[in-house]
Structure 1
Amino acid sequence: MATGWAGDGAVQEQIDATVEDAIKRARSRLPQGPGRERCEECDAPIPPARRKAVPGVRLCVACQEAHDADEQAASGYNRRGSKDSQLR
């Protein structure tokens, strides 16, 4: 199929690059180093298993879930990936 100036597989290469960038961005936001023993927000103890599973953990599970929900609600990211969905 003719795609104009784009070479064969250009669309897939763009998708792959976008996914790789998103993975790099997500990994860069992960906390590093030793985890905290108590939550930064509510001062609840963070279990040793969570500190071992999530290096650099700063929040307890409840506070992390609330933080993630707030972050997702504020996100303007178009998950459908369609130009049509941006126009609606």
Structure 2
Amino acid sequence: MERPGPASDPRLSHDDPLLDGLLILCRLHGCSVSRGTLSAGLPLPEQRLSADLLPRAAARAGLQGRLLQRKLASISPL
């Protein structure tokens, strides 16, 4: 059986807004990581990063994260 190479790895090309947002955050903090590095080995439901897996993915870039539930109205519009 042939192992998929980087060009055929679905984590590198599929639509994943949460993973893309984490990548942007990583770059803003000076972390040079890839989609594959952040998501490798995680049990991705529907091949997407879920909110509960975000702290684990962030830790791979040396960042800390946690899940909070807030009412939308309580978030500052800046």
The TM-score, its normalising length taken from structure 2, stands at: 0.23
- Flag the structure with larger Rg: 1
Which has the higher relative contact order, 1 or 2, with Cα contacts under 8 A spaced 6 or more apart? Answer: 2
